[in-house]
Structure 1
Amino acid sequence: MNKRKNNGYKTQKKRHQSNKSYGKNRSALATESNKLHGKQSKTSNRRGNKKKVTVEVVCAGLSHEGKGIVQWEGRQLEVEHLLPGEKAEIAVSTSGRVVHAQLKRIITPAKDRVKPMCSYYYACGGCQLQHMNEQAQKRFKQETIQKLMRPFGKPELILTMDHPYDYRNKSHTTFGLNRERQIIGGLYAQNSHQLISMDRCLIHDPKADEIWNTMKDMMKSFKMQPYNEDTGRGFLRHVLVKVGKVSGEIMVVLVVASPIFKGKNHFVKALRKAHPEITTILMNVNNRNTSMVLGNQEKVLFGKGTITDTLCGMKFDISAKSFYQINPVQTEKLYARAIGMAQLTGKETVIDAYCGIGTIGLIASQKAGKVIGVELNKDAVRDAIHNSKRNGVKNARFYQGDAGEFMVKMAAHGEKADVVIMDPPRSGSDEAFLSSVVKLKPKRVVYVSCNPVTQARDMKYLVQNGYEVKRIQPVDMFPQTLHVESVAEIVLKK
Structure 2
Amino acid sequence: MSKRNNHKAKKLHPPKGKKQHRSGGKTITAEVTCTGFTNEGKGIAEWKGQKLEVPYLLPGEKAEVHVSQKGKFVNAELKRVIDASQDRVEAPCPYYYDCGGCQLQHMSNPAQARFKQQYMEKLMKPFGKPEPIYTMDHPYDYRNKNVMTYGLNQKRQVIGGLYAQNTHEIFDMEECLIHDPKADEIANSIKDYMRKSKMQPYNEDTRRGFLRHVLIKVGKVSGEIMVVLVAASPEFKGKNNFIKAMRKAHPEITTMLLNVNKRDTSVVLGNQENVLFGKGTITDTLCGLEFEISAKSFYQINPVQTERLYAKAIEMAELTGKETVIDAYCGIGTIGLVASKQAGKVIGVEVNKDAVKDAVRNSKRNGVKNARFYQGDAGEFMVDMAARKEKADVVIMDPPRSGSDEAFLSSVVKLKPERVVYVSCNPETQARDLKYLTKNGYKVEGIQPVDMFPQTYHVESVVKLVRK
TM-score by length of 1: 0.90
User: Deviation of residue 221 (structure 1)?
Assistant: 2.8
Q: 1:35-61 CA distances to partner (integer Å, 9 max, x unpaired)? A: 89xxxxxxxxxx9xx432211000001
Tell me the residue number matched to 1:33.
15
Question: How far off is 1:32 after superposition?
Answer: 3.4
- The residue that corresponds to 1:366 in the other structure is 341
**What's the secondary structure of 2:131's corresponding residue?**
coil
Query: Given the alignment of the two structures, is residue 178 of structure 1 paired with residue 160 of structure 2, yes or no?
Result: no
What are the equivalent positions in structure 2 for 1:281-360 lying under 5 Å apart? 281-360=256-335
Relative to structure 1, the CA distance from residue 31 to residue 222 in structure 2 (aligned partners, 3 Å threshold; closer, same or farther) is farther
Question: Partner residue of 2:9?
Answer: none
Name the CA distance, whole Å, in 1 between partners of 2:286 and 2:122.
32
Tell me what 2:137 maps to: 162
- What is the match of residue 470 of structure 1? 445
Farther-moved stretch of structure 1 (220-229 vs 400-409): 220-229
Q: Deviations over 1:116-162 (max 9, x none)?
A: 00000001010000000011000000001011100000000000001
* Residue of structure 2 in register with 1:232 after alignment: 207
1:443 — aligned with what?
418
Contact 2:33/2:61, CA 8 A, preserved across alignment? yes
Match of 1:400 in 2: 375
2:40 paired residue among 65, 68, 73: 65
Going from structure 1 to structure 2, the CA distance change for 1:191 and 1:51 (only over 3 Å counts) comes to closer
3-state SS in 2 of match to 1:242:
strand
Structure 1 match to 2:69: 94
Aligned to 1:484: 459
Matched, 1:199 2:174: yes
Tell me the SS of whatever aligns to 2:420. strand
* Kept after mapping to 2: 8 A contact 1:323/1:356: yes
Deviations 1:302-340 (A, max 9, x none): 100000000000000000000000000000000000000
Does structure 2 conserve the Cα–Cα contact (< 8 Å) formed by 1:354 and 1:374?
A: yes
User: 1:337 is matched by which residue type in structure 2?
Assistant: K
Structure 2 residue matching 1:33: 3-state secondary structure: coil
| Alignment-mate amino acid for residue 33 of structure 1 | P
Q: Indicate if the aligned counterparts of 2:54 and 2:78 stay in contact, CA closer than 8 A.
A: yes
Task: Quote the Cα distance in structure 1 between the aligned partners of 2:431 and 2:143.
Answer: 27
Q: Secondary structure at the match of 2:259?
A: strand
Counterpart CA distance in 1 for 2:215 and 2:173 is 16
Q: Secondary structure at the match of 1:91?
A: strand
Structure 1, 69-78 or 50-59: larger mean CA deviation:
50-59
Distance, in Å, in 1 between the alignment partners of 2:394 and 2:349 is 14
Instruction: Structure 1 unaligned segments of length 5 or more: list them.
Output: 1-29, 37-46
The residue aligned with 1:428 is: 403
CA contact (8 A) 1:286 1:296 kept: yes
Match of 2:87 among 80, 98, 112: 112
Q: Tell me the SS of whatever aligns to 1:248.
A: coil
Q: Residue 183 of structure 2 aligns to a residue in which SS? A: helix
**Following the alignment from structure 1 to structure 2, what is the Cα–Cα distance between the partners of residues 272 and 32?**
41
Provide, for residues 368-389 of structure 1, a one-character-per-residue CA deviation record: whole Å limited to 9, x for no partner.
Answer: 0000000000000000000000
Pick aligned residue for 1:418 from 393, 396, 419: 393
Distance between the aligned counterparts of 1:33 and 1:271, measured in 2? Answer: 37
Shift of 1:191: 2.6
Q: 2 CA distance for matches of 1:56 and 1:299? A: 57
Aligned equivalents of 1:402 and 1:322: distance in 2? 19
User: In 1, are the aligned partners of 2:13 and 2:84 still within 8 Å (CA)?
Assistant: no
Deviates more, 1:216-225 or 1:479-488: 216-225
Q: Distance in 2 between matches of 1:159 and 1:481?
A: 15
Runs of 4+ in 1 over 6 A off after TM superposition: none
Q: Is the 8 A contact 1:240 1:253 kept in 2?
A: yes
Deviation at 1:220, TM superposition (A): 2.7
Gaps of 5+ in 2: 1-11, 19-23
Counterparts of 2:70 and 2:321 in 1: how far apart (Å)?
63
Partners of 2:27 and 2:163 in 1: CA distance: 28
Query: Offset at 1:31?
Result: 9.1
Shift of 1:222: 2.7
Deviations 1:179-232 (A, max 9, x none): 110000000112321111100000000000000100001013330110111221
- Note the C-alpha offset of 1:405: 0.2
| Mapped partners of 2:283, 2:26: distance in 1 | 57
Kept in 2, the 8 Å contact 1:77–1:101? The answer is yes
Counterpart of 2:230 in structure 1 is: 255
Hey, what's the Cα distance between the residues in 1 that align with 2:69 and 2:235? 51
Which structure has the higher relative contact order (CA within 8 Å, separation 6+)? Answer: 1
SS at match of 1:110: coil
> 2:240 is matched with which residue?
265
Aligned length: 452
Query: Take 1:96 and 1:247, find their aligned partners in 2: how far apart are those partners?
Result: 55
Return the letter of the residue paired with 2:15: S
Instruction: Provide the rounded CA distance (Å) in 1 between the counterparts of 2:69 and 2:233.
Output: 46
Q: Distance in 2 between matches of 1:35 and 1:383?
A: 48
Partner residue, 1:148: 123
Kept in 1, the 8 Å contact 2:293–2:299? The answer is yes
Taking the aligned partners of 1:86 and 1:366, their CA distance within structure 2 comes to 51
Judged with a 3 Å threshold, the aligned counterparts in structure 2 of structure 1 residues 433 and 307 are, in CA distance, closer, same or farther, namely: same
Q: How far, CA to CA, are the matches of 2:84 and 2:458 in structure 1?
A: 24
Query: Who is 1:241 aligned against?
Result: 216
**Partners of 2:351 and 2:294 in 1: CA distance:** 18
Aligned residue runs from structure 1 range 12-51, under 5 A: 32-34=14-16, 50-51=25-26
Instruction: Give the AA of the match of 1:273.
Output: K
1:437-482 Cα deviation digits (max 9, x unpaired): 0000000000000000000000000001010000000000000000
Query: How many Å apart are 1:486 and its aligned residue?
Result: 0.3
CA contact (8 A) 1:31 1:119 kept: no
Deviates more, 1:139-148 or 1:190-199: 190-199
- 1:386 corresponds to 2:361: yes
Q: Could you tell me the percent identity over the aligned residues?
A: 74
